[in-house]
């Protein structure tokens, strides 16, 4: 989990923004005193005649904004889930994707990790997860232009010290499968120097199944531990974003693995479910109201 510690003074941009707003809020002077006094008199009379309302806050808390974004993400999560299950069922049943070697090797890798996770709860496995977790924090911190002072990894937990923190840095380990990315990167580099055949490609899918299931199980396990990374950005917003991104990553892997499913096909399915979400929701609410009214 990333802990934010400022290594330098406050960025001058924030001071420039603050002074800019102050300058914009400052009224301009009027050279003609008589017109100025007349405007003040009319303003005071108008203020006395109008009802007084409580003043609005100068700024909205960031947690409120993120909670609102989380509410906006909810229908996107629902639509993406419908489109993903529909696409998976269509590819698996109609196109018989379940018969392909890629499906079986991915499944064998996933099953292998589930057996290991259920039978071995050792410190070495936890250390591997913490290492990947903190390395993902550090990688995205560097991509965001942050400076990293220290990375600490132990079997009990870990943290990084950096001068910058944002949503991407703090939540990236929950939707980026670090070891899966390493396997795909190593396979891509190896293809540049060696002639890899079908056997190596199927082994890659087995490794993807193992490492991605490793990522999924530990992510679910760590979320239940009430991680500070989630609280920093608001738990509700963090969970909706993590679910949506992980679901889209699963869809991306399905598109790559299955020749029967193209990205355009999934996009069309997603837009169809999004277009019909409103009418379907209204119909469901109407049926519910009628059912409750009939029981009264």
Closest Cα partner for 275 from 79, 70, 74? 79
Q: Are 215 and 125 in contact (CB under 8 A)?
A: no
Domain extents in the chain: 76-271
Confidence bin at 220 (pLDDT 50/70/90): confident
What is the pLDDT at residue 50?
44
Asked whether the beta carbons of 208 and 183 are under 8 A apart, the reply is yes
User: Could you report the per-residue pLDDT of 6-27, keeping only the tens digit for each?
Assistant: 433 333 322 233 333 322 233 3
Cα four-point dihedral sign 189, 191, 197, 198: positive
- Reference 175, options 228, 229, 107, 256; nearest CA is 229
Average pLDDT over the chain, rounded to whole? 77
- List, as own/partner pairs, every contact residues 128-132 make where C-beta atoms lie below 8 angstroms and the sequence separation is at least 24, other chains included: 128/179, 129/214, 129/218, 129/222, 130/154, 130/155, 130/157, 130/158, 131/158, 132/173, 132/178, 132/179, 132/215
Tokens of 25: 């809020």
pLDDT digits (tens, 9 = 90+) for 171-214: 999 988 999 999 999 999 988 888 888 788 888 889 999 999 99
Residue 113: CB atoms within 10 A of its CB come to 19
């Amino acid at each position: 989990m990333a802990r934010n510690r400022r290594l330098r003074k406050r960025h001058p941009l924030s001071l420039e923004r603050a002074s800019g707003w102050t300058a914009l809020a400052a009224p301009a002077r009027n050279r003609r005193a008589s017109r100025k006094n007349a405007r003040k008199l009319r303003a005071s009379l108008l203020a006395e005649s109008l009802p007084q309302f409580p003043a609005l806050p100068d700024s909205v808390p960031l947690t409120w904004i993120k909670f609102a974004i989380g509410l906006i993400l909810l229908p996107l999560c629902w639509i993406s889930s419908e489109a993903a299950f529909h696409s998976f069922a269509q590819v698996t049943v109609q196109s018989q994707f379940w018969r392909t070697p890629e499906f079986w090797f991915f499944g064998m890798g996933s099953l292998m990790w589930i057996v290991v996770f259920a039978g071995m709860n050792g410190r070495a496995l936890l250390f591997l997860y913490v290492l990947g977790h903190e390395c993902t924090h550090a990688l995205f911190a560097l991509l965001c232009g942050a400076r990293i002072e220290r990375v600490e990894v132990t079997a009990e937990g870990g943290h990084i010290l950096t001068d910058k923190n944002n949503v991407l840095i703090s939540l990236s380990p929950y939707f980026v499968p670090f070891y899966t990315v390493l396997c795909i990167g190593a396979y891509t580099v190896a293809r540049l120097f060696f002639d890899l055949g079908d056997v190596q490609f199927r082994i890659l899918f087995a490794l993807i199944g193992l490492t991605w299931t490793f990522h999924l199980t530990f992510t679910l396990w760590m979320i239940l531990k009430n991680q500070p990374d989630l609280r920093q950005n608001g738990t509700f917003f963090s969970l909706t974003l993590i679910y949506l991104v992980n679901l889209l990553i699963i869809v991306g892997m399905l598109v790559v693995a299955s020749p029967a499913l193209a990205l355009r096909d999934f996009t069309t399915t997603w837009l169809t479910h999004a277009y019909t979400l409103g009418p379907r929701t209204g119909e469901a609410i109407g049926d519910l109201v009628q059912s409750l009214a009939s029981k009264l």
